[in-house]
Amino acid sequence: MDFQLDPDLAALQALAAEILEDKATDDRVHEVEQSDGRFDEALWTEFARAGLLGVALPEEYGGAGLGLAALCVVLEEQGRKVAPIPLWPAGVAAMAVAAHGSDKQRAGLLPGAASGELRIALALEEFDGARPERPACTAAADGDGVRLTGVKAAVPTPSTAAHVLVSATGEHGPGLYLLDAAAPGVSWQWGETTSRDRTANLLLDGAPATPLGGASALTWVLLRAMVAVSAVQIGVAEGGLRLGAAYTSERIQFGRPLGSFQALQHQLADCWIDIDAMRVALWQAISDLDGDDPAAERSVRVAKWWSAQGGLDVVHRVQHVHGGMGVDVDYPVHRHFLWGKQLSGTLGAPGTVLADLGELLVAGETA
């Protein structure tokens, strides 16, 4: 497999990196974290102007038509700067509408999603150990639509979102449903996540919604959401590693740079190896999804496990090599630790993902 980015993706990566370097400074990220919304709307607008919000969407709706790979390239750059914008949930939700929505849904939602004027939140997780592929939230038929009842946990950055893409179980099994964020029967229970995101639990009491797709559509979204989270985590880990390398090169202890001590060199080398493995697994998953490979689900779960376990290991190590500075909540590397911890458990913690992967492997051997 060729892991070099093609010219379009390389140009996209450079553009995203340039904007983030200029707009997502440590001071700016800290300022946004102190705000009520915890969402850098100025950076979101800048991404919209540069066409980065629609990179994965069809050209006929104002996107670039570059697919999942392009979204992941941008997400990795976002992760390096831990920039507080809801790029992965909005991107995956819009891709789902493009792939599974009706002509009316596509025409009504995708141009706004590409331009940044309209955002779709993504509600896939629940409480009490409910598996994302088997949501406890119910969808009861109601004419041409449904009524949703249940609770969706920790919806990422739902403030200012116009719509929510919700997973629920109806009479024909699990599926996806589009919901107006301010519809009757919708209420929000606001909170804060480990990564300092302004999140909310979505409380549904017979809220009217429209179907987007059945179990296959839900599986489609979950796989791409796991890939998107993995891409962000690679950026978070690599950004943390760069901070660790810079700190140990400059910090003098016993008359020598910390980075000259073999024990620290080994820790940072382990980080580099983990990040390389995370990236290889991610691009294998993207390739398999794009090629409709039967092994795609397995590849995605491998990538998710590497991002969950490897990413968590990296942010722990880079915080550790900073010594006392690493636990200063206002020091930049602590933010990478918080993001890495949050992303590690999103859509499945390492143990859960590994168990799912084992079930897939066993099922494949016995089929």
Q: How many residues does the chain have?
A: 367
**pLDDT band, very low/low/confident/very high, at 200 (cuts 50, 70, 90):** very high
* pLDDT at residue 3 is higher than 80: no
Q: What is the CATH number of domain 218-366?
A: 1.20.140.10
In one-letter notation, the amino acid at residue 362 is V
Cα distances (angstroms) measured from residue 221 to each of 15, 84, 166, 216: 27, 22, 11, 9
Strand partners, 155: 200
User: What is the secondary structure of 279-292 as a DSSP string?
Assistant: HHHHHHHHHHHHTT
pLDDT at 247: 80
* pLDDT at residue 353 is higher than 60: yes
Select 121-213's CATH number: 2.40.110.10, 1.10.287.610, 2.40.50.140, 1.10.3720.10: 2.40.110.10
Residues 6 or more apart whose Cβ sits within 8 Å of residue 37: 159, 160, 198
* pLDDT at residue 224 is higher than 90: yes
Helix (H) or strand (E) holding 176: strand 173-180
Model confidence pLDDT, tens digit, residues 16-75? 999 999 999 999 999 999 998 899 999 999 999 999 999 999 999 999 999 999 999 999
CA dist 309 and 273 (Å) reads 13
> With pLDDT > 70 as the criterion, what percentage of the chain qualifies?
97
Chain region(s) in the chain for CATH 2.40.110.10? 121-213
pLDDT at 250: 77
Q: What is the CATH number of domain 7-118?
A: 1.10.540.10
Model confidence pLDDT, tens digit, residues 146-160? 999 999 999 999 999
Chain region(s) in the chain for CATH 1.10.540.10? 7-118
pLDDT at 245: 86
CA dist 58 and 106 (Å) reads 10
Chain region(s) in the chain for CATH 1.20.140.10? 218-366
pLDDT at 129: 79
pLDDT at 56: 98
Task: Count CB neighbours of 264 within 10 A.
Answer: 21
Q: Comparing 161 with 129, which gets the higher pLDDT?
A: 161
pLDDT at 161: 96
Cα distances (angstroms) measured from residue 302 to each of 280, 285, 343, 360: 10, 8, 15, 11
Sign of the dihedral defined by the CA atoms of residues 90, 221, 74, 328, in that order: positive
CA dist 77 and 75 (Å) reads 5
Sign of the dihedral defined by the CA atoms of residues 15, 306, 241, 262, in that order: negative
Model confidence pLDDT, tens digit, residues 87-127? 999 999 999 999 999 999 999 999 999 999 999 999 999 99
